[in-house]
Structure 1
Amino acid sequence: MTTTDLAAGEGPVAIICGGGTFPFTVADALLRNNRQVVLFALTGWADPERVKNYRHHWAHVVQLGRFLRLARREGCRDVIFIGTLVRPSLRQLINFDLATLRVLPRAVRHFYGGDDHLLSGMARMLEDYGFRLLGAHEVAPEILVQEGALGQFGPSENDLTDIRHGFEVLRAMGPLDIGQGVVVANRHVIAVEAAEGTDQMLARVAELRRSKRFRAPLGTGVLVKAPKPGQDRRFDLPSIGPRTIEEVAEAGLAGLAVIAGGTIVAEPQIVVQKADRAKVFVAGFGETA
């Protein structure tokens, strides 16, 4: 099935909406393609001020029954997961509803593993209820980073060496389901993304600079992001946005590199403006980089 077919599908798309700007980027892209959306905003994560501009329902992350009931009433068959979310603890499952209770043993098994294992498992559960899980990029390909430099700056030869090393590190880490980002300077791994996410990893790099534990000159080093090998790309694609550029600049890095066609960009015009102003590069590379 083509992207056009998916974008034009039947009924509104249910967007299970976590934190950040990406759910709204996807919702706006779908609306531009004349596809209706219903946001299922996760309490404590989704931005209420942004959510209220769309047709929406609120739910807790473990309220499967509420989602099933409301999504069916809205006529939704297609579902997209997008937005930041810290996995709930098993203790939080005390707030589950009856539908969650029925699948609780299966849900608990999915908790023991990395994020890709968890998301793929939860997706299969929804598919068992008759829904079709889509990647945000399948219905709104314009949200993906394209190959080449996004702004007026590009990587130097030294940056390219670090970028290639970063992609090698991520390919090696991928089977372990650890993270999607790494910071490399002069072929030295400065930081690896794990549960803290990209922003906190970059904040850690900035602190390493302040404490003189990362002594490379300002403008040295790159953030590299890529999907995990074998990852189910319907969920948790690497993403960048204006805040990523700010963090890269605050960490004193030369720029950031991502996999073209495998990375979501929020507010691309603002990303380019911020990158050009900070004199850092943002570049998309092919899968074989």
Structure 2
Amino acid sequence: MTEADPHPEGALVLIAGAGRLPELVAESLRRARRPFRVIALRGFTGATLRASADATVDLLDLAATLKLLRRWGPAVVVPAGGVSRPSPAAILNAGAALRNREALRAIAGGGDDRLLRAAVTLVEEDGHRVVGVHEAAPDLLCPEGPIGRRIPDAEAAASIRAGRGVLDALSPYDLGQAVALAGDRILAVEGPEGTDRMLARARALGRRPFGFGRAMPATVLVKAPKVGQDRRIDLPAIGPRTVRNAAQAGCVGLALEAGGTLVIDRVATAAEADRLGLFVVGYGGTP
């Protein structure tokens, strides 16, 4: 162990969900020459990472996950990637459900935040440390300032300020981490369906009825973690697909909390924003 080692407590274990994020975290760890193991989540982890994973477990088979961590010794655990929230019966076989009955009872009910926090607590109570992607792979975080060539104009900046206020006000509730606004008019707030489907709703609501009426201000997508959120789990993220969907929804740009939002493939995201004429900007400080 050296002073440069940011996680001296134990081996790093990446628990890989769906999407590109787990692969990007793995690439970041390799660049940093940080040894790590991978636990793939059956039905979620992408084929490339799953093929090289050290183990594969069911999403809610906490007993199997903890057994692996105990075998490998004290670990620094990094959860990364998306997971849906199916019923336990849809994921676990009868034996796994029996093994996990107490843990499942402990995390059942409530919102997604409660479920994720409870899972983290169970891992930590077993003697491991849980860290977020922002700690394990800080190069994936949105920087402050523009990503790409465009910047918001005064009208878009006003929408961004309004959106930040909306997200702050909604933080106590188990809602999403994004809002689409046209000026100070809220078009859509992210719910369990995710950002992409929220943008589809915003697209419909942002149109003028039958082409008549006063044109609304340009639409802006604002994303940020909730105030007081445990940033080790479920940080908001965008990527090239988000930019494309935002453009289709009529957005002129995306505003992200700098240091609190992940950017999946920053180079490709910037290129897509430039191609479509959108700004992508990281903001900091107070609204």
TM-score (norm 1): 0.89
Question: In 1, are the aligned partners of 2:140 and 2:264 still within 8 Å (CA)?
Answer: yes
Matched, 1:192 2:189: yes
Question: In 1, are the aligned partners of 2:144 and 2:258 still within 8 Å (CA)?
Answer: yes
Deviation at 1:112, TM superposition (A): 2.1
RMSD after superposition: 2.5
Q: Which of 261, 266, 269 in structure 2 is aligned with 1:268?
A: 266
Q: Which of 253, 256, 274 in structure 2 is aligned with 1:255?
A: 253
Counterpart of 1:116 in structure 2: which amino acid? D
Residue 34 of structure 1 corresponds to which residue in structure 2? 33
Counterpart of 1:30 in structure 2: which amino acid? L
Structure 1 gap segments, 5+ residues each: none
Question: In 1, are the aligned partners of 2:63 and 2:99 still within 8 Å (CA)?
Answer: no
Residue 143 of structure 2 corresponds to which residue in structure 1? 146
Question: In 2, are the aligned partners of 1:62 and 1:96 still within 8 Å (CA)?
Answer: no
Where do residues 102-251 of structure 1 align in structure 2 (5 Å cutoff)? 104-209=101-206, 212=209, 220-251=218-249
Deviation at 1:163, TM superposition (A): 0.5
Residue 86 of structure 1 corresponds to which residue in structure 2? 84
Distance 2:234 2:240 in 1: 18
Distance 2:86 2:250 in 1: 33
Instruction: Give 3-state SS (helix, strand or coil) of 1:168's partner.
Output: helix
* Structure-2 change in CA distance of 1:213 and 1:28 (3 Å): farther
Deviation at 1:114, TM superposition (A): 2.1
Counterpart of 1:250 in structure 2: which amino acid? Q
Deviation at 1:213, TM superposition (A): 8.3
Q: Deviations over 1:27-75 (max 9, x none)?
A: 11111111122221111111113432x3432211122222223333344
Distance 2:279 2:219 in 1: 11
Question: In 2, are the aligned partners of 1:12 and 1:35 still within 8 Å (CA)?
Answer: no
Structure 2 gap segments, 5+ residues each: none
Counterpart of 1:57 in structure 2: which amino acid? A
Q: Which of 37, 55, 58 in structure 2 is aligned with 1:57?
A: 55
Q: Deviations over 1:121-171 (max 9, x none)?
A: 110001111111011111211110010111100111110111111011111
Question: In 2, are the aligned partners of 1:13 and 1:78 still within 8 Å (CA)?
Answer: yes
Counterpart of 1:142 in structure 2: which amino acid? D
Question: In 1, are the aligned partners of 2:151 and 2:279 still within 8 Å (CA)?
Answer: yes
TM-score (norm 2): 0.90
Distance 1:76 1:32 in 2: 23
Residue 17 of structure 1 corresponds to which residue in structure 2? 16
Question: In 2, are the aligned partners of 1:256 and 1:283 still within 8 Å (CA)?
Answer: yes
Question: In 2, are the aligned partners of 1:240 and 1:266 still within 8 Å (CA)?
Answer: yes
Deviation at 1:238, TM superposition (A): 0.7
Question: In 2, are the aligned partners of 1:14 and 1:76 still within 8 Å (CA)?
Answer: no
Deviation at 1:211, TM superposition (A): 8.5
Distance 1:105 1:70 in 2: 19
Distance 1:188 1:138 in 2: 35
Residue 5 of structure 1 corresponds to which residue in structure 2? 5
Deviation at 1:254, TM superposition (A): 0.5
* Structure-2 change in CA distance of 1:232 and 1:213 (3 Å): farther
Deviation at 1:88, TM superposition (A): 2.5
Distance 2:210 2:117 in 1: 38
Instruction: Give 3-state SS (helix, strand or coil) of 2:119's partner.
Output: helix
- Of 218-227 and 270-279, the range deviating more from structure 2: 218-227
Q: How many aligned positions are there?
A: 284
Distance 1:110 1:62 in 2: 10
Instruction: Give 3-state SS (helix, strand or coil) of 1:39's partner.
Output: strand
Deviation at 1:90, TM superposition (A): 4.3
Deviation at 1:284, TM superposition (A): 0.5
Question: In 2, are the aligned partners of 1:162 and 1:186 still within 8 Å (CA)?
Answer: yes
